């Protein structure tokens, strides 16, 4: 944390516009716009997938065709025209590289601008990178170290080819094709994503990390992530996202499935910073994501997310606590500014006995934004002694934003213990003046107050991610008071 | 150090200060007393630079500089400290973290590097001992769940850490029991020197038994209507404010 000085912050604050707003011109191979069975087949063919995968995609497509876009979320936007999107785009410079020297220099430059130069990343102890640019994995590092432990960490396309038995067994088991509109769409057209398998009893020795990036004008991004932690294993997975600024809205509909088998633990952390649209609410990414984890007996899944980007967010990382004694956790900070809208939260489905869940949600709204927490705690009839604790806090800045809380509780077992706490507060002029009087300017005062408000969640993030997240919070709220 | 000439100030177009004149020199302790609604807290807010207050006439000089155009944080950087009547809560921000930020922001404004961590720790230890503050207290969230006495003691701790030239204590005695009052007053007395000055704003005389003023001013209806030595405070305690009101109105 010490490396990041206030001067760095000041420098960053000078660029009020989205700072990663550049566009990399790498000759791309892009499909024509539109979606039909031929396009789905073409994607599958392009990725040299086995027939079962093609069929799975087609089945998903047919399901999707009969579904309608959900409207229950507390967000308003112009629905995307799904026939105006190109569903495949890949950087041209294939084949895969053995070393970074072979990577397109312009692409490396992109990484440099993002501050995630692979050269540095390689040296960074303990972090393996599987970088996804425009839907195709370009480079994977640390693979060898992981391979020695039997850990598989690769792109999902590669997994479909190299480990079909694992993919076939687990894909769609937590988020079925018909789960929801966007999940069905993703299942039909997913371009790439990450795959991770931790064998029985193995503790993954490093944080696994993936950077996503949307980079081709008008290209929807449909990532698919599958993480399987076999019995008694442990993995911490980091996901961070940035995107170039663009005027037309970019659709992002990812699916993440986590499977924690008996006694396994998965920690999944996200810092999301996609282009939120400009100060007038123009442009920005639509982020409609389905994330869900399945916990078998004594297993544990923790979702931690810091959401600062996107024009519209629709996202509920959830846990199905299937086995007895399973634990689900959800820690979230969602920041909205200007015209951003977020409807986010979690579902904790208690099926097993003695299952426990914890929900801590911190919503920060500024500008003219709308920030909603939506959560479901469901206790099934056979879930004896299930426990849940939920805390939903909202912080408002200014008079034109909104914070909403929609907690749903369905308890079908009398032994359940459910606690829900909620607070709403406002950054007061009195707080700002108090800080000013101690020599702290308004910008810094807001950062201090917001960090204090978010501390419980920031503390759950791995160290290097926590620094990035803190920076993002400060940048996202720049100029939002006074 | 502080020189106020014919100060008029209003909030939301309502005139509250109507021609204040006051001079405070290094080493002096001034007490400003007066009935409720006379403008005592407004005066402290205006000196500290709170934006909601508009100065409509007159000047405030601090170390010979007109500070009208300076923001609240710039005034703080120059050495003006306000001990708040109602200190605000900042959940999740520890007293230590808050002080570290305040000190480093002030140093930054002066072109200095951040204070090294070991120096910071030494300073915290020294000042908390001086004010008899349990160090566990310093890792609690700023003012969150603090008792009235703890809040005020925390204000004085911050004053000790920041070492201001001019400290304005706004109703620091309100909400304090006699033991807490003594501790706070002792703290202020320990921090007093020939180079700094204290302005004590209070409704009652009792704090002035512990922090003995060189001058006492009575504020009434936006003006200083009477000034004197420490005996004036005793007189007010005995007779109340009515006789002053009568004196003015007659």
Tell me if residue A438 falls in helix, strand or coil. coil
The DSSP string of A125-175 is TTEEEEEEETTEEEEE-SHHHHHHTT-EEEEHHHHHHH-HHHHHHHTTSSS
- Asked if pLDDT for residue A163 goes beyond 90, the answer is yes
Region A89-111: what's the mean pLDDT? 53
Among left, alpha and beta (phi > 0; psi -120 to 50; other), residue B16 is: alpha
Distance, in Å, from the CA atom of A128 to the CA atom of A152, rounded to the nearest integer, reads 12
Partners of A442 on chain B (C-beta within 8 Å) are 73
Residue B86 C-alpha, separation from nearest chain A C-alpha, in angstroms: 10
Q: Hey, are the CB atoms on B90 and A448 less than 8 Å from each other?
A: yes
Distance, in Å, from the CA atom of A83 to the CA atom of A64, rounded to the nearest integer, reads 13
Q: Which has the higher per-residue pLDDT, B147 or A174?
A: A174
When pLDDT is cut at 50, 70 and 90, the band that residue B140 belongs to is very high
- Asked if pLDDT for residue A197 goes beyond 90, the answer is yes
Distance, in Å, from the CA atom of B216 to the CA atom of B210, rounded to the nearest integer, reads 14
When pLDDT is cut at 50, 70 and 90, the band that residue A115 belongs to is low
Q: Closest Cα to residue A285, out of A246, A342, A256, A343?
A: A246
Is the torsion defined by CA of A114, A238, A336, A286 positive or negative?
A: positive
Range(s) of the domain holding residue B17? 2-249
User: Of the given ranges (A9-23, A313-327, B113-127, B215-229), which has the lowest mean pLDDT?
Assistant: A9-23
Q: β-strand B141-142 against B90-94: which pairing, if any?
A: antiparallel
Range list of H helices, chain B: 40-48, 72-78, 95-109, 117-130, 148-162, 178-191, 231-239, 242-249
Q: What count of other Cβ atoms lies within 10 Å of the Cβ of residue B94?
A: 18
Q: Closest Cα to residue B248, out of B216, B220, B222?
A: B220
Q: Which residues of A touch B (CB under 8 A)?
A: 6, 428-431, 433-442, 444, 448-449, 451-456
Distance, in Å, from the CA atom of A315 to the CA atom of A374, rounded to the nearest integer, reads 9
CATH number at residue B200: 3.40.50.300
Q: Hey, are the CB atoms on B88 and A440 less than 8 Å from each other?
A: no
The pLDDT score that the predictor gives to residue A49 is 93
8 A C-beta contact, residue B58 and residue B7:
yes
Q: pLDDT over 70 for what percent of chain A?
A: 77
- Asked if pLDDT for residue A398 goes beyond 70, the answer is yes
Q: Hey, are the CB atoms on B162 and A455 less than 8 Å from each other?
A: no
Residue A121 C-alpha, separation from nearest chain B C-alpha, in angstroms: 29
The contacts of residue A4 (CB under 8 Å, 6+ apart) are: A467, A471
- Asked if pLDDT for residue B181 goes beyond 50, the answer is yes
Distance, in Å, from the CA atom of A263 to the CA atom of A59, rounded to the nearest integer, reads 34
Half-sphere exposure of A192 (CA within 13 A, CB side): 26
Cβ-count burial A293-322 (b if 16+ within 10 Å, e if not): bbbbbbbbbbbbbbbbbbbbbbbbbbbbbb
8 A C-beta contact, residue A204 and residue A123:
no
Mean pLDDT value across chain B: 92
Assign 3-class secondary structure to A363-405: EEECCCCEEEEEEEEEECCCCCCCEEEEEEEEEECCCCCEEEE
The pLDDT score that the predictor gives to residue A34 is 84
Residue A453 C-alpha, separation from nearest chain B C-alpha, in angstroms: 6
Q: pLDDT over 90 for what percent of chain A?
A: 49
Partners of A452 on chain B (C-beta within 8 Å) are 90-93, 141-142
Q: What count of other Cβ atoms lies within 10 Å of the Cβ of residue A58?
A: 15
Residue-wise pLDDT for A231-240, tens only, equals 999 999 988 7
The pLDDT score that the predictor gives to residue A10 is 45
Q: Closest Cα to residue A78, out of A248, A245, A215, A216?
A: A248
When pLDDT is cut at 50, 70 and 90, the band that residue A265 belongs to is very high
Q: Hey, are the CB atoms on B49 and A428 less than 8 Å from each other?
A: no
Distance, in Å, from the CA atom of A429 to the CA atom of A395, rounded to the nearest integer, reads 14
Q: What count of residues does chain B have?
A: 250
Partners of A439 on chain B (C-beta within 8 Å) are 73, 76-77, 102-103, 105-106, 109, 162
Distance, in Å, from the CA atom of A408 to the CA atom of A395, rounded to the nearest integer, reads 21
- Asked if pLDDT for residue A191 goes beyond 90, the answer is no
Q: Which residues of B touch A (CB under 8 A)?
A: 48-52, 71-73, 76-77, 81-82, 84, 87-88, 90-93, 97-98, 101-106, 108-109, 141-142, 158, 162
**Could you report how far apart the first and last alpha carbons of chain A are, in Å?**
28
User: Of the given ranges (A106-115, A290-299, A394-403, B101-110), which has the lowest mean pLDDT?
Assistant: A106-115
Question: Looking at the 3D structure of chain B, how many domains does it have?
Answer: 1
Q: Hey, are the CB atoms on A436 and B88 less than 8 Å from each other?
A: no
Distance, in Å, from the CA atom of A153 to the CA atom of A172, rounded to the nearest integer, reads 19
Is the torsion defined by CA of A63, A67, A69, A70 positive or negative?
A: negative
Q: Hey, are the CB atoms on A441 and B106 less than 8 Å from each other?
A: no
- Asked if pLDDT for residue A305 goes beyond 60, the answer is yes
Q: Hey, are the CB atoms on A439 and B50 less than 8 Å from each other?
A: no
When pLDDT is cut at 50, 70 and 90, the band that residue B178 belongs to is confident
Q: Hey, are the CB atoms on B105 and A434 less than 8 Å from each other?
A: no
When pLDDT is cut at 50, 70 and 90, the band that residue A410 belongs to is very high
Distance, in Å, from the CA atom of B84 to the CA atom of A441, rounded to the nearest integer, reads 18
Among left, alpha and beta (phi > 0; psi -120 to 50; other), residue B179 is: alpha
The pLDDT score that the predictor gives to residue A22 is 42
Partners of B90 on chain A (C-beta within 8 Å) are 431, 434-435, 448-449, 452
Region B8-36: what's the mean pLDDT? 94
Cis peptide before A95 (omega within 30 of 0): yes
Residue-wise pLDDT for A278-294, tens only, equals 777 777 888 899 999 99
Residue A220 is given by DSSP the state -
User: Of the given ranges (B77-81, B144-148, B196-200), which has the lowest mean pLDDT?
Assistant: B144-148
The contacts of residue B189 (CB under 8 Å, 6+ apart) are: B210, B211
Assign 3-class secondary structure to A298-341: CCEEEEEEEECCCCEEEECCEEEECCCCCEEEEEEEEEECCCCE
Distance, in Å, from the CA atom of A256 to the CA atom of A167, rounded to the nearest integer, reads 13
User: Which value does ipTM take for this structure?
Assistant: 0.96
Which of B84, B91, B97 is best to mutate for the A interface (most A CBs within 10 A)? B91
Q: β-strand A152-155 against A194-198: which pairing, if any?
A: antiparallel
Which of B52, B67, B100, B105 is best to mutate for the A interface (most A CBs within 10 A)? B105
When pLDDT is cut at 50, 70 and 90, the band that residue A481 belongs to is low
Range list of H helices, B94-193: 95-109, 117-130, 148-162, 178-191
Residue-wise pLDDT for A6-64, tens only, equals 455 444 434 334 444 444 444 456 777 888 998 899 889 888 899 999 999 999 999 99
User: Of the given ranges (A22-31, A139-148, A427-436, B167-176), which has the lowest mean pLDDT?
Assistant: A22-31
Half-sphere exposure of A250 (CA within 13 A, CB side): 27
**Could you report how far apart the first and last alpha carbons of chain B are, in Å?**
35
- Asked if pLDDT for residue A243 goes beyond 70, the answer is no
Residue B90 C-alpha, separation from nearest chain A C-alpha, in angstroms: 6
Measure CB to CB from residue A437 to each of B76, B90, B103 and give the nearest one.
Answer: B76
Partners of B76 on chain A (C-beta within 8 Å) are 436-439
Distance, in Å, from the CA atom of B229 to the CA atom of A267, rounded to the nearest integer, reads 68
What is the pTM for the complete model shown?
A: 0.81
The pLDDT score that the predictor gives to residue A105 is 63
Partners of A448 on chain B (C-beta within 8 Å) are 90, 93, 97-98, 101
């Amino acid at each position: 944390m010490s490396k990041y000085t206030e001067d760095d912050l000041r420098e960053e604050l000078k660029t009020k516009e989205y700072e990663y707003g550049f566009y990399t011109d790498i000759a791309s191979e892009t499909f024509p716009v539109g979606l039909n069975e031929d396009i789905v087949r073409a994607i599958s063919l392009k990725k040299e997938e086995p027939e079962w995968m093609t069929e799975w995609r087609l089945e998903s497509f047919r399901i999707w065709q009969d579904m309608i876009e959900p409207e229950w979320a507390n967000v308003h936007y112009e629905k995307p025209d799904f026939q105006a999107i190109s569903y495949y785009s890949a950087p041209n410079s294939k084949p895969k590289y053995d070393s970074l020297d072979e990577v397109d220099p312009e692409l490396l430059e992109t990484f440099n601008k993002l501050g995630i130069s692979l050269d540095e990343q390689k040296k960074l102890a303990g972090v393996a990178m599987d970088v996804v640019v425009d839907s195709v994995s370009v480079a994977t590092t640390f693979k060898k170290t992981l391979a020695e432990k039997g850990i598989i960490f690769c792109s999902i396309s590669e997994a479909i080819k190299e480990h079909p038995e694992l993919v076939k067994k687990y894909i769609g088991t937590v988020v079925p094709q018909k789960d929801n509109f966007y999940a069905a769409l993703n299942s039909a057209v997913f371009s790439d994503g990450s795959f991770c398998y931790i064998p029985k009893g193995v503790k993954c020795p490093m944080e696994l990390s993936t950077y996503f990036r949307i980079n081709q004008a008008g290209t929807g991004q449909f990532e698919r992530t599958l993480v399987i932690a076999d019995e008694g294993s442990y993995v911490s997975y980091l996901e961070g996202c940035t995107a170039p600024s663009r005027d037309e809205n970019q659709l992002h509909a990812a699916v993440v499935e986590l499977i924690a088998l008996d006694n396994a633990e998965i920690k999944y952390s996200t810092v999301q910073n996609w282009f939120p649209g400009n100060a007038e609410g123009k442009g920005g990414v639509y982020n409609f994501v389905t994330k869900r984890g399945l916990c078998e007996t004594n297993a544990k899944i923790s979702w931690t997310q810091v959401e600062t980007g996107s024009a519209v967010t629709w996202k509920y990382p959830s846990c199905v606590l299937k086995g007895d004694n399973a634990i689900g956790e959800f820690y979230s900070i969602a920041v909205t500014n200007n015209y951003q809208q977020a409807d986010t939260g979690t579902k904790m489905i208690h099926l097993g006995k003695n299952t426990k869940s914890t929900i801590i949600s911190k919503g920060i709204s500024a500008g003219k934004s709308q920030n909603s927490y939506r959560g479901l705690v469901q206790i099934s009839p056979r879930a004896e002694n299930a426990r849940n604790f939920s805390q939903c806090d909202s912080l408002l800045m200014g008079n034109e934003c909104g914070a909403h809380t929609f907690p749903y509780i369905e308890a079908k077992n009398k032994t359940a213990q459910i606690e829900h706490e909620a607070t709403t507060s406002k950054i007061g002029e009195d707080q700002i003046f108090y800080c000013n009087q101690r020599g702290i300017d308004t910008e810094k005062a807001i950062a201090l107050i917001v960090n204090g408000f978010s501390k419980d969640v920031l503390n759950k993030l791995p160290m290097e991610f926590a620094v990035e997240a803190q920076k993002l919070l400060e940048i996202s709220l720049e100029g939002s008071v006074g | 150090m502080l020189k106020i000439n014919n100060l008029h100030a209003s909030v939301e177009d309502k005139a509250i200060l109507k021609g204040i004149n006051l001079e405070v020199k290094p080493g002096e302790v001034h007490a400003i007393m007066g009935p409720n609604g006379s403008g005592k807290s407004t005066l402290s807010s205006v000196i500290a630079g709170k934006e909601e207050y508009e100065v409509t006439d007159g000047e405030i000089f601090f170390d010979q500089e007109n500070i009208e155009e300076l923001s609240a944080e710039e005034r703080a950087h120059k050495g003006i400290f306000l001990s708040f009547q109602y200190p605000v809560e900042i959940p999740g921000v520890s007293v230590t973290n808050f002080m570290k930020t305040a000190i480093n922001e002030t140093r930054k404004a002066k072109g200095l590097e951040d204070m090294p961590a070991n120096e910071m720790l030494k300073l915290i230890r020294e000042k908390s001992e001086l004010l008899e503050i349990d160090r566990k207290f310093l890792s609690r969230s700023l003012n969150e769940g603090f008792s009235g006495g703890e809040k005020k003691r925390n204000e004085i701790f911050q004053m000790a850490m920041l070492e201001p030239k001019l400290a304005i204590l706004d109703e620091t005695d309100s909400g304090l029991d006699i033991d807490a009052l003594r501790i706070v007053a002792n703290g202020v007395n320990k921090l007093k020197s020939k180079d700094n000055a204290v302005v004590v704003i209070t409704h009652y005389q009792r704090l002035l038994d512990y922090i003995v003023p060189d001058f006492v001013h009575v504020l009434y209806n936006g003006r200083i209507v009477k000034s004197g030595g420490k005996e004036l405070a005793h007189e007010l305690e005995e007779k109340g404010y009515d006789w002053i009101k009568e004196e003015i109105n007659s």
